[in-house]
Amino acid sequence: MWRVLYRVLVVLLVIFATAYSAPIPFLKPSFLNLKEDLEDSVREGKYLFIMFHQEGCPFCDKMRRITFQDKDVQNYYTKHFNMVEIDIRGSLEVVDFDGKKLTERQFALKHGVRLTPVFMFFDKKGEVIAKVPGYIEPKEFILIGRWIVEEHYKRTNLVNFLRENKK
């Protein structure tokens, strides 16, 4: 009896340990007032980006477990970015950059986001710089950050920048 209970306990611990993800240092606590989030980011000298996600999304979970836990990603993104998460099926109120109120779902649809994850990066005026879908490996995620922070987006598109800088 004790052996069975012990085995069940070990299995449960393994499940919880693998499901747990450490905190993401560049995840901004947000009331989903994007106008305020942008103002805060600009005041801190950072860019704002949104991670569109949904419950049960394996690639969202992989971003949290692998890419966001990479020390180089954490260091670079904590220094240069604030991230806000929006659930594409969510019903929480979002205040858009123009002050209009809509649900998370409506906001996602407004921006053409139907699958997850999608990362939408903004310039310091709230204009979309890029929308990047899918799971992104740590090194590529840092390159995307560099493309924005170093303002390469003003001179070249993201695909060319990634192609030229991957090693």
Q: Which domains does the chain have, with CATH numbers?
A: 23-165 (3.40.30.10)
Would you state the structure tokens that stand for residue 150, as one six-digit string?
A: 């170093």
In the predicted model, is pLDDT for residue 166 greater than 90? Answer: no
CB-count exposure of residue 34 (10 Å: 0-12, 13-18, 19+): buried
Distance in angstroms (rounded) separating the CA atoms of residues 65 and 138:
11
Digit-coded pLDDT (tens) for 19-63: 456 899 999 999 999 999 999 999 999 999 999 999 999 999 999
Q: How many residues does the chain have?
A: 167
Digit-coded pLDDT (tens) for 83-129: 999 999 999 999 999 999 999 999 999 999 999 999 999 999 999 99
pTM recorded for the entire structure: 0.86
